[in-house]
């Protein structure tokens, strides 16, 4: 399988670059970018294709000293004792959706088989479908999705793998035992039948309004102790005042602290096995705040992985 990567702006937080085909020793987290998976139209450029490098670029100044105190993590920006690498951007193309999916799936699978946590920078919301597929031998899994939209379309424009269908496709994977969708609001592409199918499958839907009323605690309560989790964040799940850089902004979304608390809650009771952030549209950003916010989610996720690795080491000793 070819894993040639495209040139990147720089690595995330200045961490060492890596070639996933030559992973030696214990690596805790591997970051990779995927600008394309299955486009809605193969004739047009992906609206989120520049996102991986925009996210990396937003942390370039912070990368000059990763020992600085990070109040969102209550520790250094890059925790001591954790080995984080950046595999760059996968060589995806708008015109090769099947190959894109294979490349995302197989690269994530190599990372998982090396006992590292893959962190995927999209790309649009079709990117998580092959990412979830990579976990076939690493389940059972709980998926926690932050998104404004339901994403349960059976197909769109004749394709079953576009950004309208990631949760529908996830529900068909036997190793995924639980789906929790957080932040739903506004108008998307779903129909009543899509909602009925999701509820029939057993999805737990927690609208953004419920988070405003009750906080993020009830979301974390839906996750059993010890569950293996993949967190997938569609940037439009956040309020546009937090991440303006999205294709379809919907007012009333989650705020930054909601997502920080979600990561903290999961790290305390479960195991975060993978993270993806998708649907950032840099051309619609305002002063780079959207890219910075997405990058801060990755920083927080890395801190949570460091915390759970320490917990796992203590448990196994």
Q: pLDDT tens, 233-281?
A: 999 999 999 999 999 999 999 999 999 999 999 999 999 999 999 999 9
Helices (H) and strands (E) in the chain, counts: 9, 11
Residue 208 sits in which domain range? Answer: 5-316
Enter the pTM of the model. Answer: 0.95
Domain of 221, CATH number, reads 3.40.800.10
Is the bond into 123 cis (omega within 30 degrees of 0)? Answer: yes
Question: What confidence score (pLDDT) does residue 167 get?
Answer: 97
C-alpha span between 31 and 15 (Å, rounded): 10
C-alpha span between 296 and 59 (Å, rounded): 8
Residue-by-residue DSSP string for 73-130: TTEESS-TT--EEEEEEE---TT-HHHHHHHHHHHHHHHHHTT-EEEEEESSTTTHHH
The total number of structural domains in the chain stands at: 1
Question: What confidence score (pLDDT) does residue 317 get?
Answer: 61
Question: What confidence score (pLDDT) does residue 185 get?
Answer: 97
Closest to 196 in 3D by CA, of 171, 161, 228, 163: 171
Residue 240, classed as helix, strand or coil, is: coil
What is the average pLDDT value for the chain, to the nearest integer? Answer: 94
Question: What confidence score (pLDDT) does residue 1 get?
Answer: 44
CB 96 within 8 A of CB 9: no
Q: Which residues of the chain are modeled with pLDDT < 50?
A: 1-4
Closest to 250 in 3D by CA, of 156, 191, 183: 183
């Amino acid at each position: 399988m070819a894993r040639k990567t495209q040139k990147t702006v720089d690595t995330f937080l200045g961490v060492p670059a890596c070639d996933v085909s030559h992973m030696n020793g214990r690596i805790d987290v591997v970051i990779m970018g995927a600008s394309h998976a299955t486009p809605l139209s193969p004739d047009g450029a992906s609206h989120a294709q520049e996102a991986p490098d925009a996210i990396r670029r937003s942390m370039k100044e912070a990368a000059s000293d990763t020992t600085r105190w990070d109040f969102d993590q209550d520790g250094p920006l890059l925790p001591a004792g954790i080995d984080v690498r950046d595999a760059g951007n996968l060589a995806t193309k708008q015109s090769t959706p099947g190959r894109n999916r294979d490349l995302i799936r197989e690269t994530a699978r190599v990372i998982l088989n090396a006992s590292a946590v893959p962190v995927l920078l999209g790309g649009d919301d079709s990117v998580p479908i092959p990412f979830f597929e990579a976990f076939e031998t690493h389940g059972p899994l709980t998926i926690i999705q932050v998104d404004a939209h339901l994403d349960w379309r059976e197909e769109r424009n004749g394709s079953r793998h576009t950004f309208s269908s990631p949760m529908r496709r996830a529900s068909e994977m036997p190793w995924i035992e639980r789906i929790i969708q957080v932040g739903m609001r506004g108008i998307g592409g779903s129909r009543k039948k899509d909602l009925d199918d999701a509820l029939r499958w057993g999805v737990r839907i927690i609208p953004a309004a419920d988070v405003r009323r009750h906080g993020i605690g009830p979301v974390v309560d839906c996750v059993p102790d010890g569950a293996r989790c993949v967190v997938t964040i569609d940037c439009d799940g956040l309020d546009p005042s937090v991440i303006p850089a999205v294709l379809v902004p919907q007012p009333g979304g989650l705020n930054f602290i909601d997502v920080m608390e979600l990561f903290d809650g999961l790290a305390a009771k479960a195991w975060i096995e993978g993270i993806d952030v998708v649907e950032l549209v840099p051309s619609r950003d305002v002063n780079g705040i959207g890219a910075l916010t997405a990058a801060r989610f990755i920083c927080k996720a890395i801190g949570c992985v460091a915390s759970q690795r320490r917990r796992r080491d203590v448990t196994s000793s």
